[in-house]
Structure 1
């Protein structure tokens, strides 16, 4: 009998984030409350980060709300957005970095693997870098595993790929 498997991943499409940043920057240039504040949102794809900058902390919070709204409208989960502490910059400005979580962190992968084992399903889960592979002899067991994982919150958005 053949083995069946699927991968559990947590990926964010940076092209969609880039579109959201463009739309948010257009909104910022047109809004009256941002006139003359040198507010900006930038996407650093290499480091998987959003950089928010404005004249004060309140405006940075507003920028974060704007970009998160744009991202959510495009179907990207906000669980994978990790806002850092707002920092004071030179000239009385404020800035914030929002890290974009790509992949499943090792501690979350162990937590997911433990949840699968605790459910006593006839599947085996193995951690492979920033993703998990779940395999079984039964497709039904894999479906049950997916249902179990959809019902729990692990702090990252999970996607199921490579189902075979």
Structure 2
């Protein structure tokens, strides 16, 4: 029986490359001259340190832009609370979301079942397995999930005939 998996994955090496490019750009930009602003990848997230809120917002734009160029959508990023540091400087942790959480998985399952497609959907940890009798049914299910407009990007893996 044909099947495929719906997953939400991020290639962390691409995140590291994007962060390195951000640091290179920060080093050359005039508005960051003399600044102690830094960005680094730490255990499943991005740690941002900036001199003030304005520079932090500029760092967010740089990070989003460089990640977008590497096919990592802004929906993959979860911005944590901004912590004040020494002086006027601030730091923030940005968690890179991987896997489909329970609420989002239930929403996808409910939408697919509500569409009356001839496929079965099961939640398997942080991914969804979609099975059906025909390849065309699975392809229409893929298109349906793409058209849902989910806030977190999803990928389709392990398509088996």
Q: Same fold (TM over 0.5)?
A: yes
**Match in the other structure for 2:50:** 54
**Match in the other structure for 1:92:** 88
- Indicate the RMSD between aligned Cα atoms, in angstroms: 1.0
Identify unmatched segments of 5+ residues in structure 1.
none
Matched, 1:149 2:145: yes
- Kept in 2, the 8 Å contact 1:53–1:94? The answer is yes
Which one of the candidate residues 11, 14, 17 is aligned to 2:15? Answer: 17
- 5 Å-filtered alignment, 1:1-164, equals 3-44=1-42, 46=43, 48-164=44-160
- Number of corresponding residues: 160
Runs of 4 or more above 4 Å deviation: none
Identify unmatched segments of 5+ residues in structure 2.
none
Using the alignment, how far apart are the partners of 1:79 and 1:100 within structure 2? 9
- Kept in 2, the 8 Å contact 1:5–1:133? The answer is yes
Deviation, 1:151, is 0.6
